[in-house]
Structure 1
């Protein structure tokens, strides 16, 4: 629409002037003038109306010529000219009255003083959704917009030169009218919901120096025209959903200094032409699914570059030597790629570099020489590669702050010089082959916070100066050959939060203060030779959550002060020499979930008040000297699953209260129990649970025989004869029928024998014919859009699950062509080959694949407890208490993390949902159906199923609706929905939600009604705190913006640490955007 400008003022004679581009229509209202009369000259004031359809104009836009036609027909005394000084046109006074009445009857329709740029911004306000009223100060009655929120103006000209609407929660398409602000040089719409595509008219914002549209919902391809902005220096499009290639026009940027395209869906090749933007100081392309590409050597031309981040960009090949020419580079991040070869020596020429990140690649060889040139280097991370050799002394002589070389193949000693680094706060070397002793002065000169040297071959003692600066938080030395005593200095290191010294050769007594460190939440001393007593000082360890001292030589009683450890969740002290009775104060440990004291010399009766252990899941007191009766109140522990009191001196009856428990393991053997075994325990699963109790009678042969009344021998003989005769006739009939049926099946099998192709992935002790014989409708245990699932019991008694997929080449007469079907078959076989190589405890095992023209059979291990979805949303829901649900979530997370991070190439599941999480006999979870949905033919009869597209209804990430692309972040969203299912017990889509799904319902209910209305009422309230922590993880995983979702590796770590999440502190690197492998969860959001 062209611009209409109108001015109105009042004087003795009234004039109305309308300017339409270069065409001006003027008229004078004078009742006595004739057609040819000349108007009187007057300096009339004017009234402007901008934009043909704006808040100032009450009518929708319509063509100007129609408007003129109406005017002509209203009054014959009208003349029209297209010149600025045109003759006037006369209008009838009635028309004037109508015009003024229409506009001036509603003053809000007109703004008499707001500047032109203010009108533009006010129009933009009306085009955006502003749920938080962030733009409420944008009032059209102001003279200028300079006082409006987010707006900054030039103090002399009052023209808008800066607009910052970051974090305002506004939504809508990108407002193109912003490019009408001719002096706008700074624009930030960071962290909003700006959606749809970025229009090409962005090139009209020619004054822009700074453009920040990060953390929005923009989609489509990057506009090539954006490179036409001649003054642009800063461009940040991080955290959107841009896809496709980076336009080659980007090479035309002349002044661009910062280019950040992190966390998008760019999937073209790594653009070498970016090496032409020699003005660049920062280039960040991290976390995009580029096609496998090498690092362009042309990047070595960016001589002004200070920051180069190419994290997780699907990079392959070697690191180019040309990067060594970037003399101004301070930060180099090439982590989480598939780079191979050795680290080039040219990187030792980066004299300004402060941080080098190379972790999680496939780099090999030794670290290059020349580290002494990198005098500015402070953070070096080459973890999770295949690097060999020794750690160079010249690297350790640098003033490092963080050194991470874990999970490599380094050998030799750790150089003594590392102890001289004045700023060293992080040292992680776990998972290597390092030997020798740790430097004796380690920690004396540096503020050590995190030390992890686990899984090496270190020897000697713990350096006594590790906590010299009083900042040590984590000390992990698991699985080495350390010896000696724990230094007394660590007994006063109150900053410690996490201590793991297990599986070493430590000895002597533990310092008294070490037992009572006030901030420690995890203390693990397992498998050493410690001796002495547990000190009463443990009473001050108020945050202790996990306490593991098993397999040592500790003696004495458990101190009564342990009852003050209100946060204690796990107490594992097996295989020691503890004696005496359990203190009554242990009943105060209301959060205790696991108590394992087996193989000690404990005695006496169990403490009264154990009914307060509402969270107890495991109680193992086997092989001690406990006496008395088994307390009846054990039956009131609602989530107890494992109970082992064997090898003690308990006597009396078996408590009837045990019938209230859902036990996976019960062992009361080798005690002095007596009386009659309760009928509810007369099950085969408990057959060996009561051995070694001579006075206990029951229904098992191993227990004493119950007295029975004498039976008449004659009647017994007659009954036996009848049964034998009937059984003989029945058996003969069955054999005859079986032989006939077998003959028929063998004939049929010979006919079809040549049709089946077997592809095995493990050593099989069955043939495909055992499978084929059992594919009857009676054996169907499930069905879906892609086929049916059968339970097949093999000749060896084991069961397998067989999924029969419909596919193969199409039959004649069906739609689709044979060539396309053949391509799909090839893709299917390639995918199955990939799935067959996967080995992980939390991924269902694929035994083999049988293929014919019309069918494909996938033979999996059988999961007796079915799918999580079936169990969670059925009458069997009560079997899933919170500990079981948590275990399922952790198992599934570990399986999905394996697919994302440990498979080469990574595998995106595409259909994570509760029905694809299968449960074994112990409710261990395994992922199923990963990858298959990508190759199943979706063009068959019937509508396309959501699982074939990319997920299932209620589990699909929101960005899929406008990108039609999936990646690891899509899986993470779906897994977050599964977590919410586990916590709420509700389906992902439920009529009760209305138009909402489970994610939106949870967020809404949390906001309106609180956490209690979200948690499944079948879960015990004693788990509320832990459930809240897991809910936080679920909400993180279902964040609307993919960039905000944690990686599955991080999700696993957060779940593993969830029991003590309150005490965790962030281990992330200062000033680092990329996720760090060892990052803790404390910096994440919370339900509150």
Structure 2
């Protein structure tokens, strides 16, 4: 009996401290989620109440739960409908998690809910029509999920809704007129959904309380309705990236509260209306670029307190209003490719902190405003292809913040101020096609960051200063068609990064400087039409990446170096010199005839050569040469046997290499040494060759297989614009690849076992990927082995590898050359991201971008903003990965003659619009996957958005692909509500950058 009483007392004590009913509901929520980061650690069932739990807020009077905020908690699982039993719950946010499955069809129990935020999750299915029945709902954010189907008609019946955001889903159907019935709306955001083609509903003009209207990339067609002019409270209007046509409505002059209008990438025509926004406090951006707008830029527009004015690639004409110079917040002015005339405003730059000015490809004239850099922050001044004249103002030489100065194709004259030559941060100085005169000042020694010096087609004169050899970063020196005299400075051989040296058509003289073998990265050498003399040095044959050589029209004498045969030249011209002797055998044929004309002393088996001064052939000299060749041939035959005998000992000779010459740096525990690797570097083992080196398959003594990349001197970089910034030679990638891959441990990044180096040979040893690269497999006759589930798996693997680089490495790593050929496939088609030769670590401070002095990447994959601004961040990789996704869906190359002037991205967009989805998809893929193909195609188009800010993060891309993969494999996609990969993971390969 006593024991029973004791047990009852303990039970009574326990019941006195039990969790209340709302706490029990929340415990069920907790147990329904996967919680790898311990977000629910404080949710203890021994508490009286949940009011002190992280994320939970209670009413101070009733102690009822009225708010639950679990944003960015990294939880996963289905939506917990039991939350609707919290009768006082008014605020619910599960933003940025992995909430999956679909929303319950009946949410009517959540009667008190005012704020519902489920953005950036993995929700699928149709939007529940019953959400509109919630009587108190004011804020609904479902952005960044995978909802599909049309917007329910019931959404026109919201009673108190102020914010509706459905951005970046998979919604179809048209943007419907019933949305104009939600009279309480202040924000309507439907951007980035694959809606069916349709017009902007005129009924949206009834939303007189609307402050924000975002309909970016919603497949809108037709004209912009005049009714939008009734939205007097509108501050932000975005109709960009659609197919709207016709003029900008004149009713827009009535938008007296508007702060930002974005209309770019449409087909609008006509003139800008005479804006009358007298009450405007700020205009952050008016970007009407890439339409067909005409007329003049209204003075009323430029009198506003602008921050950024982007009207590029239209047909605006007339003068730029002087009032634009009065905007105190103006930091960006981009007006390139219009028809603007007149002078730049006299006070431009005096009243604002201007960073970037680009007015290229217009018809501006006059002089550069003196105060353009008065505040000392100007970074870029691009005014190429205009009619500017006069001299460069001396004040610009004090602008030490400048990084790019492009003044080419104008009518400038006079001498360049000495300070301009020595600007310390400028990496691109382009003065070509003007009438500049004077000499290159010795102050150029201070231009320590200069990468490209482009001076062609001017009137520069005098000697090239010795200080030019101090520019250790110089990759291009183009000074053709000037009046330079004297010899090349001896210091010029110190430019070991030099890729292009073009000084043709000057008055230069003297001999080649000693030591040109240091130009290991020289790709183009053009000294034609000067007065150079002496011998062509034998060292020229050691310039292994040289493919353009023009020394014509000089006074070179002596023999042609036999070492030229070592080069792989696309262009060779030694004509009109005083060369003599034999033409090297590799070039002694008719196709090279024009390369040697005008050298009376040259001989070879080419008709027209070996002519004497009177025009007759010197037959005796020819027979003498032929006799010598016959004797040499006999000697060669005798020597072949000796060479063959020496070749048999080649393997043994390699083993006798002095071990002190090799340095091996390992990043994992190795079961082999460098000599096993060297033994496998035979031509029979070559499995690939690319821009950075040759790749060998090495089968080791223990049966293990590795891939060995042998790097060569350098690689050519793609032209930026084709007519101004020529290709450069960049670093061969060894240091970048070792520095990047040596630190990384991830299952979807190719594993670097070790590197081996000597002074003239560098090897990288990787894990071997038996199925080669995705590009080679996808675009070959073996592409049939890549069915749709396999392609989704490859895309997801590669996305996880890039997501690791962008989000888990400190600092983030930008690959900069993402393409299908740099995604390697294992035996089970597991994908690894490879080739980090141009990768960069990007500082996350500030804007998170880093300017590169040259373009790295591959044609068809380069993001549009990277090619033009040279600013690189993670969004550049995301664009390139989007192209890879489009390759997987379409089966087509990123650049194809069939596309004409388009690339794959533009071809897909055009074909979708004109012919529909079926004409885009790879015909090799099973049509039963059409719905999944459409969704992945949408992901690719999101990634290739022209605006970087609108591209999803790689983490977000991974979530979207996981959702599609789950649909391909529903039987294994869910485990406790969390997506589970269907391939194995090796935990030993996980980790972060050291």
TM-score by length of 2: 0.65
Q: 1:198 to 1:112 in 2, by over 3 A?
A: same
Q: Which of 548, 561, 564 lines up with 2:470 in the alignment?
A: 564
Q: 1:246 to 1:1081 in 2, by over 3 A?
A: closer
The Cα shift of 1:308 comes to 0.9
The Cα shift of 1:573 comes to 1.7
Distance 1:387 1:230 in 2: 45
Q: Which of 441, 448, 454 lines up with 2:360 in the alignment?
A: 454
Equivalent position of 1:232 in the other structure: 137
1:336 is paired with a residue whose SS is coil
2:384 aligned with 1:541:
no
Equivalent position of 1:650 in the other structure: 556
Q: 1:404 to 1:945 in 2, by over 3 A?
A: same
Q: Which of 511, 525, 532 lines up with 2:417 in the alignment?
A: 511
- Whether the aligned pair in 2 keeps the contact of 1:977 and 1:1038 (CA below 8 Å) is no
Equivalent position of 1:579 in the other structure: 485
The Cα shift of 1:10 comes to 7.8
Q: Which of 495, 502, 508 lines up with 1:589 in the alignment?
A: 495
The Cα shift of 1:350 comes to 0.9
Distance 1:457 1:127 in 2: 66
Equivalent position of 1:331 in the other structure: 236
Q: Which of 132, 138, 162 lines up with 1:257 in the alignment?
A: 162
2:535 is paired with a residue whose SS is coil
Distance 2:6 2:261 in 1: 78
Equivalent position of 1:394 in the other structure: 300
Equivalent position of 1:666 in the other structure: 572
The Cα shift of 1:949 comes to 6.4
2:315 is paired with a residue whose SS is coil
2:768 aligned with 1:914:
no
The Cα shift of 1:427 comes to 2.5
- Whether the aligned pair in 2 keeps the contact of 1:349 and 1:374 (CA below 8 Å) is no
Equivalent position of 2:313 in the other structure: 407
Q: 1:642 to 1:301 in 2, by over 3 A?
A: same
Aligned pairs (5 A) from 1:607-756: 607-682=513-588, 686-704=592-610, 705=622, 707-708=625-626
Q: Which of 1002, 1024, 1038 lines up with 2:881 in the alignment?
A: 1038
149-158 or 523-532, which deviates more: 149-158
Q: Which of 323, 329, 337 lines up with 1:423 in the alignment?
A: 329
Aligned pairs (5 A) from 1:296-445: 296-371=201-276, 373=278, 375-376=280-281, 378=283, 379-445=285-351
Distance 1:535 1:1083 in 2: 48
The Cα shift of 1:306 comes to 0.8
The Cα shift of 1:433 comes to 1.9
The Cα shift of 1:475 comes to 1.7
Q: 1:391 to 1:655 in 2, by over 3 A?
A: same
- Whether the aligned pair in 2 keeps the contact of 1:129 and 1:170 (CA below 8 Å) is yes
- Whether the aligned pair in 1 keeps the contact of 2:817 and 2:856 (CA below 8 Å) is no
- Whether the aligned pair in 1 keeps the contact of 2:459 and 2:483 (CA below 8 Å) is yes
Distance 1:294 1:468 in 2: 47
The Cα shift of 1:340 comes to 1.5
1:551 is paired with a residue whose SS is coil
| Alignment RMSD | 5.0
Q: Which of 213, 219, 226 lines up with 2:124 in the alignment?
A: 219
- Whether the aligned pair in 1 keeps the contact of 2:414 and 2:435 (CA below 8 Å) is yes
Distance 2:588 2:951 in 1: 48
2:348 is paired with a residue whose SS is coil
The Cα shift of 1:512 comes to 1.5
The Cα shift of 1:318 comes to 1.4
2:468 is paired with a residue whose SS is helix
Offset from partner CA, 1:813-864 (integer Å, 9 cap, x none): xxxxxxxxxxxxxxxxxxxxxxxxxxxxxxxxxxxxxxxxxxxxxxxxxxxx
Distance 1:1042 1:231 in 2: 42
Equivalent position of 2:832 in the other structure: 998
Distance 2:524 2:831 in 1: 36
Higher relative contact order (CA 8 A, sep 6+): 2
Q: 1:1078 to 1:268 in 2, by over 3 A?
A: closer
Distance 1:500 1:1052 in 2: 30
Distance 2:214 2:492 in 1: 53
Equivalent position of 1:57 in the other structure: none
Offset from partner CA, 1:1007-1059 (integer Å, 9 cap, x none): 9xx99xxxxxxxxxx9999899799844664389999xxx9999999xxxxxx
- Whether the aligned pair in 1 keeps the contact of 2:943 and 2:951 (CA below 8 Å) is no
- Whether the aligned pair in 2 keeps the contact of 1:320 and 1:344 (CA below 8 Å) is yes
Equivalent position of 2:5 in the other structure: 12
Equivalent position of 2:506 in the other structure: 600
Distance 2:88 2:820 in 1: 54
Offset from partner CA, 1:609-651 (integer Å, 9 cap, x none): 4444343332222222333433444444443332333333334
The Cα shift of 1:217 comes to 2.9
The Cα shift of 1:290 comes to 1.5
- Whether the aligned pair in 2 keeps the contact of 1:192 and 1:216 (CA below 8 Å) is yes
- Whether the aligned pair in 1 keeps the contact of 2:349 and 2:374 (CA below 8 Å) is yes
Offset from partner CA, 1:877-925 (integer Å, 9 cap, x none): 999989768549999xxxxxxxxxxxxxxxxxxxx9735999xxxxxxx
Offset from partner CA, 1:220-242 (integer Å, 9 cap, x none): 32222332333332222222222
Distance 2:884 2:405 in 1: 36
Q: 1:420 to 1:542 in 2, by over 3 A?
A: same
User: Quick check: which has more Rg, 1 or 2?
Assistant: 1
1:627 is paired with a residue whose SS is strand
Distance 1:654 1:144 in 2: 93
Q: 1:1035 to 1:351 in 2, by over 3 A?
A: closer
Q: 1:1033 to 1:683 in 2, by over 3 A?
A: farther
Offset from partner CA, 1:309-336 (integer Å, 9 cap, x none): 1112121111111111111111111122
The Cα shift of 1:527 comes to 0.5
Distance 1:288 1:695 in 2: 73
Distance 1:949 1:188 in 2: 36
Distance 1:269 1:390 in 2: 35
2:487 aligned with 1:551:
no
Q: 1:597 to 1:392 in 2, by over 3 A?
A: same
Q: 1:552 to 1:711 in 2, by over 3 A?
A: closer
1:650 is paired with a residue whose SS is strand
Q: 1:410 to 1:194 in 2, by over 3 A?
A: same
Equivalent position of 2:619 in the other structure: none
The Cα shift of 1:169 comes to 3.9
1:451 is paired with a residue whose SS is strand
- Whether the aligned pair in 1 keeps the contact of 2:819 and 2:881 (CA below 8 Å) is no
The Cα shift of 1:245 comes to 1.1
Distance 1:576 1:711 in 2: 45
1:395 is paired with a residue whose SS is helix
2:555 is paired with a residue whose SS is coil
Distance 2:271 2:486 in 1: 56
Runs (5+) with no aligned partner, structure 2: 611-621, 631-687, 698-706, 723-772, 801-813, 843-852, 859-870, 887-893, 896-901, 907-941, 956-991
The Cα shift of 1:120 comes to 4.8
2:286 is paired with a residue whose SS is strand
Q: Which of 234, 243, 248 lines up with 2:153 in the alignment?
A: 248
Q: 1:546 to 1:683 in 2, by over 3 A?
A: same
Runs (5+) with no aligned partner, structure 1: 1-8, 16-41, 49-110, 713-865, 892-911, 919-927, 930-942, 962-975, 1012-1021, 1054-1072
The Cα shift of 1:159 comes to 4.9
Distance 1:1039 1:130 in 2: 31
1:561 is paired with a residue whose SS is helix
Distance 2:96 2:143 in 1: 10
Equivalent position of 2:866 in the other structure: none
Q: 1:259 to 1:519 in 2, by over 3 A?
A: farther
The Cα shift of 1:663 comes to 2.8
Distance 2:904 2:509 in 1: 42
TM-score by length of 1: 0.60
Equivalent position of 1:45 in the other structure: 12
1:199 is paired with a residue whose SS is coil
